Amino acid sequence: MATYAEFKRLGQSIWLDNLSRTLLREGGLARYVRAGVSGVTSNPTIFHKAVAESPYYRDELARLRVVEPNLERRYEALVIEDIRAACDLLKPVHDANAGDDGYVSLEVAPRLAHDAAATVAEAKRLCGLVARDNLLIKIPATPAGVTAFEQLVAEGYRINVTLLFSIAQTEQVFEAYLRGARAWLAGGGDPRRPKAVASLFLSRVDTLGDRRLEAIDGPAALALRGKTAVAMAKLAHAHYKTLFHGPDFADLKQAGVRPQYLLWASTGTKNPAYGDLLYVEPLVGPETINTLPDKTLAAVADHGQAAVTLEQDLDAAKTQMQGLLALGIDPGQLGEELQTEGLRLFSESFEQMVELMR
C-alpha cells in the first residue's frame, strides 16, 4: 500500500474530489490533509449531495430562507462558507509549496458555459466573495469557456479548466494558457501569479468508448475496452511535456511562469470489472494532480502502489487510439459528446441544488 505522501515525493499531488460541511466539521478533511492530501475539487453534483445529506446545513439554510429571497444566492452563501473553510485549512500547504499546491476549486454556474463575457464576470465575482488566494475557479472547456479562461489568466486569476475529455480539447486549453500568461506578463504582472490546471476526465471516456466497442463486437473491438482513458491521459501528458518543456514555453519558463498541470478527474472506476485504481496507478508522474473520491482514496491507502508510470507504454497508448480510429470510433468526437453530456449533468445537478434552497 502507498501513502499519499509517496505520490507527492514522485511529483504528483493527490487531491480530494469531495467537499461537505460534514468533512469540515467532523475533521475528515483535516485528517486527509495530515495524511498528505493537498487540494480539493468540488462541483455542483458534489455540493448537491452534501447539502441533501449533511445535517450541518439545516440551521443556516433555515436562516437564509428568511433573509435571502434569491435561491441561487442562498446556495452561494452555503457553499462559499465551505470553500473558505477548506481554503483556510489548506493554506499552510499552499504557503509551504510557494503557491504550487494547496488549492480548492469552485465552479462557475454551468448555465454560463456558452457565454464568455458572463463567465469572466462571474469568475471575478466569485473570487471576490471567497477572497482566498488558494482558490481555483472552475470553468468548462467549451469554446466560450476557453475564451474566458484566456482572458482571466491575462488578468491574473487562477483557474481550473474542467470538462476536458479529449487530447484536442486539452491542447486548445494549453494554448490559451500560453496566450493568457504572455498577456499577463506584457502588462507587467508578477510571473509567479498565473496558476491553472487542466482537468481531464477519465472514467466517462471508457464508459462511452466501451459502449461503442461493444456495439461493434468482435475480438478486435472487445480487446480495446477499458484502455481508452489511460491511453488518452498518457498521450495528453506527452503533449504537455513537448509544450511546457520545449521552445514554445521557454520564454515564459525563464521568466518564472508555472506550467499548466494536468489534473486527472473522474477517477473512480465505474465498471466493476475494472480495477479500482485503474485511473491512479498507471498515471503517476511529476507535474500532475490526481483528484480522487473518498472510495478511491481509501483504495490507494489500502493497496495502492506508488511508482512513476505515466510515461510507460506510450506505444501501446498510440496503438489504442489507432485501433479506435480503424474501427470508426473517433476519440475527438467522443470527447465532444462527453463534454456536452457532462455539462448537461452538471447543469441538472446545479438546478437540483438550487431547488433544495426552497
| Active-site option among 8, 124, 138, 241 | 138
**Separation between Cα atoms, residue 57 and residue 72, nearest integer Å:** 15
Beta carbons within 10 angstroms of residue 247's beta carbon: 8
Paired strand residues for 160: 138, 197
Q: Distance of CA 185 to CAs 1, 155, 177, 191, 246, Å?
A: 44, 10, 12, 6, 19
Sign of CA dihedral 287, 291, 294, 300: negative
**Separation between Cα atoms, residue 337 and residue 323, nearest integer Å:** 20
Q: Which three cell numbers stand for residue 61?
A: 439554510
Q: Which three cell numbers stand for residue 170?
A: 486539452
**Separation between Cα atoms, residue 168 and residue 324, nearest integer Å:** 16
Phi, then psi, of 18 in degrees rounded to 5: -175, 150
Length of the chain: 358
- Contact call for residues 307 and 33 (beta carbons, < 8 A): no
**What burial class does residue 225 get, using C-beta atoms within 10 Å of its C-beta: 0-12 exposed, 13-18 middle, 19+ buried?**
middle
- Contact call for residues 191 and 165 (beta carbons, < 8 A): no
Beta carbons within 10 angstroms of residue 142's beta carbon: 21
**Separation between Cα atoms, residue 237 and residue 58, nearest integer Å:** 43
**Separation between Cα atoms, residue 98 and residue 94, nearest integer Å:** 6
138 a catalytic residue: yes
**Separation between Cα atoms, residue 181 and residue 100, nearest integer Å:** 16
Residues with a catalytic annotation lie at 138
